[in-house]
Structure 1
Amino acid sequence: MSRILKLAVAALALTQEACLGHARHLRTSQVFVNSRDVGNEYDYIIVGGGTAGLTVADRLTEDGASTVLVVEYGELSTHADDLRTGNSESISTVQGGFMGMADATLMYDIQSVPQKNLQNRTIAVLAGKVVGGSSAVNAMMTVRGTAADYNRWGSFFSTSSHWSWDSLLPYFKRALNFVPPDADVTKSANITYDTSFWGNTSSVRAGWPSFQYPGTTAQMDSFKGIPGVPFVKDSGSGLPGVYWYPTFMDPVLVERSYARTGHHDVAAKRPNYHLVAGSKVTRIVLNGTTATGVSFVPVSSGPVANHTALETVVSARKEVIVAAGGIHSPQVLQLSGIGPRKWLTSANITTIVDLPGVGQNLQDHPMIQATFMYRSFTFRPSPQDLLTNATFSSWSDAVWAANRTGPNSIATGNAAAWLPFPVISSRAANLSDALTAQNHTSYLPADTDPTVAAGYRAQMLSYATALAANTTAFYNLVLTGGNTNGIVVDLHPLSRGTVTINPANPYNSEPLVDYRALSNPLDVSIMADIVRFTRRYHLDNPSTRAWGATELAPGRATQTDEQFAKYLAETLSPSEFHPVGTCAMMPRELGGVVDEELRVYGVKGLRVVDASIMSTLVGGNTCQTVYAIAEKAADLIRFGPPKAATA
């Protein structure tokens, strides 16, 4: 071989190496289980291969040039018999919608600290531990919040913030491919929808089952018996009310559609996308206050010390993006020396950036047990018939086996009420005034940083306005189509919790999660009115009276707020598995962790992109919102903020 030819071959090899992020080994597979196969350097490193992380990775690698490494704690597949597809049956199946959550191999094992106001009960902190994250195990409910929820985020910055309903709607459209329901089912169930609020380009699909129980439509229509309840044509409109909503489902395959199938499987075909599974990020590597890479170890290595010999350190030429979720993103920042100095000092971690808001402001949707049963619910078939009617059950199994249609294509329902507080409570104005007048700081831990306390006050004043208005949904009841209903949800709790590293063992234990449930006493009053309205819907509604409802819990003897406080202490779950707020997008003087471009305050080259940036909860399941946040974040990373926002 001539010297010139040798030089040309060497140059080509160097070019290939650069395009693959200086990979140590050029492999056909872009998914690694061993850290030795990972490149030395990438343009972007994403911590977390869940809903947000995979979405951002897909978008950043679309240009074919930007190199991305995703570091994911979980595995691509945890079932040997599913290695061909890399997808476990407990994830892919749509029946019931919860099978993935029941699979311990796909879930983190975390318990909250004892909850003082819940009789010291501990609460399971559920989050997906698998490529795809919680989108792989959630209930598949494809619900947005109201426009007011997203306008609230921007309002903490300015009236011209580019975080608003109008600015996010294009990203909601980009995030999901809406597939209308079957025409026959649409007609028989009176399903309404408006495709103008949806897109059709994403590989993540929002689909519908091929069957609906007639009782679901009857339960929706029965809200007409209560004056003032709004009905909305489409769940994506940003309006509160009673409506149908789709499911995270591929309607052709009739399987779960989630971040792994919709983004990872797309990006994995590109040589500039790498993912390493089964790896735990131990810290963000910092050069002063600039993020330069990440350090991680194999999960299989067991307990590790800081700077262990098993660490792999990979450099980021442009940015590190933390997308580990509402529980683990603050943990990663804290382990890296970014967070409240007092917490870091207690764990013997050197403070690089004293950022008091990291791990504060934890919020989740509380689930309230309010169980009712109808003695004379005559709509047939119903979900109970799957258990009690052998003929119907056999037919259901047969049509599913034949062509994946019928009742087994239903996940967790497709109809619900998401109602403003004035609709459900005559005390809305009084509770709004009471919230405004509170000494808000008194309901936070005594050592709360003043900036965090100022942010909490700003949130509470915003909620006080929302309580008295008809634009924000505070109430959620999912309709079952059958003769029982047992859970209602408070969409905007006032209490705030914390997520902190465990000072006794920061590197080898899960963070300490404290919901601080019911720490703001007005939560009891709001939840009491939520149950009272549910009672009204079931028992004191001319449209449901013939169904002969019986209240099983809490029981009609529970009437006063004081009685509800006792009942909630015994039964409330402070989590619907929607943890948000722990790396809040708010001004730094309000306890914020990231700015409007999702950049971590005080650190260059570091962003957070996931549910933890939501300063306040949205009035709906959080998954669809996380997809939209990630889509917007990808544009912020690639193109910067919108021009109008920089003018």
Structure 2
Amino acid sequence: MARLLSILAAIVAVTGPVCLAYPREVPASKVFLNGRQVDTEYDYIIVGGGTAGLTVADRLTEDGTTTVLVIEIGKLSNSAAITTVTGGFSGMSNPSLLFGIQSVPQRNLRNRTVAVQIGKVVGGSSAVNAMMTVRPAAEDFDIWGSFFGPNSHWSWQGLLPYFKRALNFVPPDEAVTKSANITYDTSYWGTTSGVYAGWPSFQYPSTTAQMEAFRGLPGVPFVQDSGSGQPGVYWYPTFMDPKKVERSYARTGHHDQAATRPNYHLATESKVRRIVLDGTKAAGVAFVPASAGSTATETVLSGIGPRQLLSSANIDTVVDLPGVGQNFQDHPIIQATFQYSRFNIRPNPTDLFANATFRAWSEAAWAANRSGPNSIATGNAAAWLPFPVISSRADEIASALEAQNHANYLEPNTDPTVAAGYRAQMLAYASALRSNGSAFYNLVLTGGSSNGILVDLHPLSRGTVNIDTSDPYNRPPRVDYRALANPLDSVVMAELVRFTRKYHLENPLTRDWAATELSPGRSVQTDQQFADYFARTLSPTEFHPVGTCAMMPRELGGVVDEELRVYGVEGLRVVDGSIMSTLVGGNTCQTVYAVAEKAADLIRYGAPKIVE
């Protein structure tokens, strides 16, 4: 999951004199509540102490002299909901760690509203996500660079060194590796980061069986390591410190070590009101305690964004940047549930509830040395498959996508540059639909006696995240997923469900499990029937919001350039998931870490540079 704000995305680096004063001095390391004691000048201010913000702050302050202030609206929390590994979702059950935002009613989902779950805590969404350490396919990153031309440094090869820097890979236990048939290749990973990619000390044999069952379907690739950039069926690690058996996230991996440096400051529970501009140069940041309302002296926001939107909120436009808040994307979740009546592979997760002996053993193992089934977060095995592998309609659907009048599926009166960028994305996706290099299908394997959560990895519809013009200071942003705005989304998703039916019902390696389809049900067959089903049941979010400050050329609706600098503004960068022009085919957290590592080099050296 990525941080998300209304006018600018979550992480903003400001260079040059900041706030109100001088001279610059190296301060003592401090964490400030509400920012009441911050210094008046820093080399950099970072808005948002989340996944990317804490990574960039750590790297920029490594030299001991560069001064950095991080401003975070959330608390510095030691809640057990964050550290707990078991189940992986404890953080999402604690409302104090999340923004309480609801989407606008979704027109194509029968006017349902949807919770927008984003981490509101030091560490951001890395503190509350499902801990799935998934690296998307290489082709996803090559698409980013393609919008700038063949020589872009945003590519798989341009990001792989930063994926390696971002995480400290610890191989799984040898006994578990052997019993579960886990494969990995350490050449795709690093060992120096404070953020760990670890493994539980136990795997259910039922999970291995569900993985191996994909061999019963033709053409399904199996991948040795999840970090290779190849789509397929594979094991992947967890954001977990394997020694402590606790969540490893941006606070533990970056903030906690940077906090000892005298040149690093963090202001918590603080809300940024605006970027202070000197003409079109970012000169500082105005912020207040998070609980504060608007003040008479703060009458305008920064004035960077779509002119029409800003004018409707009585905000003077400083830089007309139509792409801000547009191009919003998230992974839709599809309900496709299959229940096995003869799944006799033991033990499996069902035994934690149905078998008192197994449950007692599991609890004893955890109490003794934090091992056993309770060390599993949300699983470590999944299928991430290319569209031609799952559907014979790949060329048909790709051709239909190419033939669309793409602007018809955006908001009315969308700026022509944003529409041009959307068309460029859809043409890239048409190629990806025909390719074996990009994953469109995701089924996470539970190891249990039912399976049912499918994810569409490359949705075609685009939404918006805009200020509420009635009260842009105090009301949350208007989040509109615009789910199913492009009708081909439901056609693609129907193919995902049809392939899942084959896995469960037409597969010689799953026949003995005696699967029954609970949803959508065998009566749902045609594209139209699927479209009606998705309108009733689809969730437009897997809590992976991206895209609203897209890294694309300005003439394609871009907000930042290849150095992540905001167009038309000097000294302002955006570094977080919002810069993703197209949503990657996997959980976004690992990618955000890599983007932040690369951004730190762009800021420090003016170019990508790995320093060993």
Provide TM-score, normalisation by structure 1: 0.90
Letter of the structure 2 residue corresponding to residue 139 of structure 1: A
Does residue 636 of the first structure (1) align with residue 608 of the second (2)?
no
Does residue 412 of the first structure (1) align with residue 412 of the second (2)?
no
Q: How far apart, in 2, do the equivalents of 1:389 and 1:36 lie?
A: 55
From 144, 157, 167, the equivalent of 1:166 is: 157
Matches within 5 A, 1:70-469: 70-77=70-77, 87-301=78-292, 303-305=293-295, 307-308=297-298, 335-469=301-435
Shift of 1:307: 2.9
Structure 2 match to 1:483:
449
Confirm or deny: 8 A CA contact 1:20 1:39 kept in the other structure: no
Q: How far apart, in 2, do the equivalents of 1:109 and 1:632 lie?
A: 31
> What do residues 201-244 of structure 1 show as CA deviations (whole Å, max 9, x unaligned)?
00000000000000010000000000000000000000000000
3-state DSSP of counterpart to 2:227: helix
Q: 1 or 2 for the larger relative contact order (CA 8 Å, sep ≥6)?
A: 2
Q: How far apart, in 1, do the equivalents of 2:607 and 2:365 lie?
A: 50
> What do residues 72-96 of structure 1 show as CA deviations (whole Å, max 9, x unaligned)?
000002xxxxxxxxx2100000000
Confirm or deny: 8 A CA contact 1:20 1:272 kept in the other structure: no
From 507, 512, 524, the equivalent of 1:558 is: 524
Q: How far apart, in 2, do the equivalents of 1:274 and 1:540 lie?
A: 58
Q: How far apart, in 2, do the equivalents of 1:274 and 1:307 lie?
A: 26
* Cα gap change, 1:542 to 1:356, in 2 (>3 Å): same
Shift of 1:305: 3.4
Q: How far apart, in 1, do the equivalents of 2:586 and 2:48 lie?
A: 23
Does residue 514 of the first structure (1) align with residue 472 of the second (2)?
no
Shift of 1:136: 0.1
> What do residues 430-487 of structure 1 show as CA deviations (whole Å, max 9, x unaligned)?
0010000111011111100000000000000000001011111000000011111121
* Cα gap change, 1:280 to 1:504, in 2 (>3 Å): same
Q: How far apart, in 2, do the equivalents of 1:396 and 1:477 lie?
A: 26
> What do residues 307-352 of structure 1 show as CA deviations (whole Å, max 9, x unaligned)?
359xxxxxxxxxxxxxxxxxxxxxxxx9311000011011111100
Structure 2 match to 1:321:
none
Shift of 1:256: 0.1
Shift of 1:630: 0.1
Does residue 49 of the first structure (1) align with residue 49 of the second (2)?
yes
Structure 2 match to 1:502:
468
Q: How far apart, in 2, do the equivalents of 1:256 and 1:643 lie?
A: 29
Confirm or deny: 8 A CA contact 1:19 1:65 kept in the other structure: no
3-state DSSP of counterpart to 2:291: helix
Matches within 5 A, 1:610-629: 610-629=576-595
Listed as ranges, the gaps of 5+ residues in structure 1 are 1-17, 78-86, 310-333
Shift of 1:306: 5.8
3-state DSSP of counterpart to 1:624: helix
> What do residues 167-199 of structure 1 show as CA deviations (whole Å, max 9, x unaligned)?
100000000000000000000000000000000
From 569, 572, 579, the equivalent of 1:606 is: 572
Please report the RMSD computed on the Cα atoms of aligned residues, expressed in angstroms: 1.5
Letter of the structure 1 residue corresponding to residue 294 of structure 2: V
* Cα gap change, 1:75 to 1:21, in 2 (>3 Å): farther
Q: How far apart, in 2, do the equivalents of 1:394 and 1:509 lie?
A: 48
Letter of the structure 2 residue corresponding to residue 74 of structure 1: G
Shift of 1:627: 0.1
Q: How far apart, in 2, do the equivalents of 1:306 and 1:587 lie?
A: 37
Identity %: 74
* Cα gap change, 1:194 to 1:489, in 2 (>3 Å): same
Letter of the structure 2 residue corresponding to residue 472 of structure 1: S
Give the number of the structure whose alpha-carbon radius of gyration is greater: 1
Letter of the structure 1 residue corresponding to residue 550 of structure 2: A
Structure 1 match to 2:13:
none
Confirm or deny: 8 A CA contact 2:34 2:288 kept in the other structure: no
Letter of the structure 1 residue corresponding to residue 517 of structure 2: E
Q: How far apart, in 2, do the equivalents of 1:492 and 1:462 lie?
A: 11
Greater displacement, 59-68 / 35-44: 35-44
Listed as ranges, the gaps of 5+ residues in structure 2 are 1-20
Q: How far apart, in 2, do the equivalents of 1:633 and 1:335 lie?
A: 26
Q: How far apart, in 1, do the equivalents of 2:526 and 2:121 lie?
A: 44
Confirm or deny: 8 A CA contact 1:215 1:380 kept in the other structure: yes
Letter of the structure 2 residue corresponding to residue 67 of structure 1: T
Matches within 5 A, 1:558-577: 558-577=524-543
3-state DSSP of counterpart to 1:411: coil
Structure 1 match to 2:512:
546
Q: How far apart, in 1, do the equivalents of 2:24 and 2:450 lie?
A: 55
Question: Which structure has the highest helix share of the two?
Answer: 1
Q: How far apart, in 2, do the equivalents of 1:123 and 1:184 lie?
A: 43
Q: How far apart, in 2, do the equivalents of 1:271 and 1:20 lie?
A: 16
3-state DSSP of counterpart to 1:477: strand
3-state DSSP of counterpart to 1:335: coil
Q: How far apart, in 2, do the equivalents of 1:255 and 1:520 lie?
A: 41
Q: How far apart, in 2, do the equivalents of 1:538 and 1:20 lie?
A: 67
> What do residues 249-279 of structure 1 show as CA deviations (whole Å, max 9, x unaligned)?
0000000000000000010010000000000
3-state DSSP of counterpart to 1:476: strand
Q: How far apart, in 2, do the equivalents of 1:162 and 1:472 lie?
A: 19
Aligned residues: 590
3-state DSSP of counterpart to 1:431: helix
Letter of the structure 2 residue corresponding to residue 515 of structure 1: Y
Structure 2 match to 1:36:
36
Shift of 1:581: 0.5
Confirm or deny: 8 A CA contact 1:20 1:67 kept in the other structure: no
Does residue 66 of the first structure (1) align with residue 57 of the second (2)?
no
Shift of 1:509: 1.1
